[in-house]
């Protein structure tokens, strides 16, 4: 359960004002690890069913693997259930033209229910992600990667959900996502994480802000 507690960044944020930062980060990592482990056990029947269904309804691997930019702007491999056909353009869904023709038969259902994110529980167990944090950028988003590093946002572990996701997700522009990520950094705390977590649950239940 290794977790990097290095949180020294620019004075432009209140990151250094966290009196118990090491305790908080340790608590956050413990919650992430145990939560991911428990959810993996509980969701294993669902994940098995999705895996079999993907394999039976479309050609290609069960998991979609992609290089993303994580903590300290380092590259890691993110895992998701594959919802698109093999060979589709390697761009975000909101930037893809005629996305419908690239989607698998059950892809829309999986995305609508946000079940495609379940394999990222393995990313959390590996110490590459957290439940809550800025979403990891793809390598092509050079501007956002540069700005995140400049503002110190890349000192945070990327999350399955984040402040930007509960305030628009796929429906907001990159510059707005950056503002929301910076806002999260400025209010980095357990209370903020709980707020994002609760909002995420409601977003998923209402199926809001998801581009299918």
Domain boundaries, the chain: 20-206
Can you give the pLDDT at residue 209? 59
Pairing of strands 75-81, 63-69: antiparallel
Q: How many CB atoms lie within 10 A of CB 73?
A: 14
DSSP 8-56: ---TTSSGGG-TTHHHHHHHHHHHHHHHHHHHHHHHHHHHHHHHHHHHH
CA distance 23 to 5: 9
Per-residue pLDDT of the chain (212 residues; tens, 9 = 90+): 545 545 444 434 444 444 446 777 888 999 999 999 999 999 999 999 999 999 999 899 999 999 999 999 999 999 999 998 887 776 666 666 666 677 888 888 898 888 999 999 999 999 999 999 999 998 888 888 999 999 999 999 999 999 998 987 766 788 888 999 999 998 888 899 999 999 998 888 876 655 44
The CA–CA distances, whole Å, from 156 to 34, 37, 202 equal 19, 21, 24
Summarised one tens digit per residue, pLDDT across range 174-192 is 888 899 999 999 888 889 9
The CA–CA distances, whole Å, from 132 to 38, 50, 181, 194, 204 equal 17, 24, 11, 9, 15
Can you give the pLDDT at residue 62? 95
Helix (H) / strand (E) containing 79: strand 75-81
Summarised one tens digit per residue, pLDDT across range 51-80 is 999 999 989 999 999 999 999 999 999 999
Can you give the pLDDT at residue 161? 94
DSSP 133-165: SPPPEETT-HHHHHHHHHHTGGGSPPEEE-TTG
Can you give the pLDDT at residue 87? 76
Reading the block at residue 16, the tokens are: 């250094």
Whole-model pTM: value is 0.83
């Amino acid at each position: 359960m290794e977790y990097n507690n290095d949180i020294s960044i620019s004075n432009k944020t209140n990151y250094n004002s966290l009196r118990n930062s090491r305790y908080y980060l340790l608590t956050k990592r413990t919650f992430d690890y145990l939560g991911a482990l428990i959810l993996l056990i509980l969701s294993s029947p669902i994940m098995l069913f999705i895996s079999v269904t993907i394999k039976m309804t479309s050609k290609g691997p069960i998991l979609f693997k992609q290089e993303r930019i994580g903590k300290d702007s380092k590259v890691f491999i993110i895992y998701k259930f594959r919802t698109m056909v093999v060979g589709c353009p390697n761009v975000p869904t909101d930037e893809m033209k005629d996305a419908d023709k690239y989607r698998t038969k059950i892809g829309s259902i999986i995305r609508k229910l946000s079940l495609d994110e379940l394999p990222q529980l393995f990313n959390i167990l590996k110490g590459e992600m957290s439940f809550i944090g800025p979403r990891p950028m793809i390598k092509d988003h050079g501007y956002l990667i540069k700005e995140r590093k400049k503002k110190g946002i890349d000192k945070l572990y990327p999350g399955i959900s984040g402040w930007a996701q509960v305030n628009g997700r796929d429906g907001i522009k990159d510059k707005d996502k950056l503002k929301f990520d910076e806002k999260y950094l400025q209010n980095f705390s357990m209370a903020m994480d709980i707020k994002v977590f609760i909002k995420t649950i409601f977003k998923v239940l209402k199926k809001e802000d998801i581009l299918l």
